[in-house]
A = this chain, B = another copy of it.
């Protein structure tokens, strides 16, 4: 379903909801549309409509749809369910999604859900629960097809034919020892062209990329992107035992989340933020960010306040001072954005930081000369005052230089300190460019005008 189609369905559903005719919606939600599309409809609906739609979904379909919802939306639905419903839903989950879900539910309910499962499945889910959600262990599934190295291709074919269906995204069979130690992979593309009398040991790949369970989700994503993987085995670092496999569909989610993370954080928004979250939740989250930025604004005002006497004498300064701060802010945030992306892509390290800083300083000076001249000329004509023109040109030069240095070094420093540069970077940068902007402009004016 394309964007247009989602919005079209949304129109139909909204019209039916307004008209109070639910039979068509029931039909759409329970089978006529695939679960992924229903999830998109729910994500594109305001809270009240979302709840109405959810109530129209049959219990037997809830599990599949929940797997496609972002957590911001699925957790509230799960929390409202009683244990019996949760048990029913959990049966429809894949093991990795089930483990993610359980991490958000109360301990007592988790125990009941686990107790209701088959011993084998319980062990699998408990194993997954022991890994953080954003690690390879948290991303993996346990639906591997394993074979032994000493059998022949022919026997593998016969073994596979005993299945009704192989798991989705099976591109490799995983070769393990009697004690479950991972030995190598056998890509289906290789199996299909192999001589039927060869043994697996002869044809398997042993130089496969293996991922240890504690690898971070971000590193997993980089490996998948770099090596064009469809799935990769996950092993226990110590024992070398096969634990499960990660498939590209889960990795694509990591990649999208990571790429979105910087943009959302720079505006103080949460990852996975629900576009249609209700008023009070939104107000609370936004208030925090506004409060933090208010501190920045008051610091800037305090700096201006230092020059009250100067402003009192030359009102033109008050008119022009936002230009200096704003040019610094824009220049700085360009550098900041570029460096934050460079860090996220793993491009920036100790060997090239100095080059980057030098380039940004030179770019800052060149653009400083260009725009300081433009602003100076405009100012000279506007206020018919050459002195103020020189002063604003100097202040813009100084501020663009500080913006270049702060934009480059701040995110690198924050990253080394383990602070997310996308979240803290923009606030600190604005503080610097505001303070330096007002300080240099009003300071120079105080020295040369008064």
Contact = CB atoms under 8 A, between A and B. Distances in A.
A45 B226 contact: no
A370 interface: yes
Interface residues of A, number: 124
Interface of A: 1-3, 6-7, 10-11, 14, 34, 36-37, 40, 43-46, 157, 160-161, 163-171, 188-190, 192-195, 219, 222-228, 230, 248-249, 252, 255-256, 259-260, 262-264, 266-269, 273, 275-276, 278-279, 282-283, 286-287, 289-291, 293-294, 296-298, 300-301, 304-305, 308, 311-312, 315, 318-323, 325-327, 330-331, 333-334, 336-339, 341-342, 345-352, 355-356, 359, 362-363, 366-367, 370-371, 374-375, 378, 430, 434
Contacts of A283: 362-363, 366-367
Contacts of A279: 359, 362-363, 366
Contact of A275 (B255, B320, B342): B342
Q: This chain: how many copies in the complex?
A: 2
Contact of A291 (B161, B338, B348, B371): B371
8 contacts: A2-B223, A11-B350, A14-B352, A34-B227, A40-B347, A44-B352, A297-B323, A297-B327
A426 to B, nearest CB: 9
A157 B228 contact: no
A1 B226 contact: yes
Interface centre among A163, A228, A336, by most B CB within 10 Å?
Answer: A228
Given A279-B366, A297-B326, 4 more contacts: A6-B349, A248-B252, A290-B327, A312-B315
A349 B315 contact: no
5 tightest A-B CB contacts, nearest first: A259-B259, A3-B346, A7-B349, A318-B318, A263-B263
A304 B330 contact: no
A347 B10 CA distance: 9
Contacts of A347: 6, 40, 43-44, 275-276
A59 to B, nearest CB: 24
Contacts of A193: 160-161, 163-166
A105 to B, nearest CB: 25
Contacts of A330: 268, 289-290, 293
A393 to B, nearest CB: 13
B222 A3 contact: yes
